[in-house]
Amino acid sequence: MSFVRLSAAAGVGFAARYAHLARTTNATDGSGLQNVYNGGGKTYFSPAASVDGSVQLKVSKTFAIALGFDLWAEDAGSNVVTAGSNSEVLVSSSGGLPQPLATPPYDVVRGAQVYVGPYLGFQFGP
The sign of the CA dihedral 1, 11, 48, 112 is: positive
Nearest residue to 10 via CA among 38, 44, 41, 48? 48
pLDDT score for 78: 86
pLDDT number for residue 59: 92
60, 109 Cβ separation under 8 angstroms: no
Task: Mark out the alpha helices in 7-54 (DSSP H runs).
Answer: none
pTM of the full structure: 0.66
Give per-residue pLDDT as tens, 74-117. Answer: 998 888 888 888 878 888 777 667 778 888 888 888 899 999 99
Nearest to 30 by CA among 90, 100, 101: 90
The ranges assigned to domains in the chain are 4-124
Provide the 3-class DSSP secondary structure of residue 1.
coil
Name which of 81, 82, 79, 102 is nearest 90 in CA terms: 102
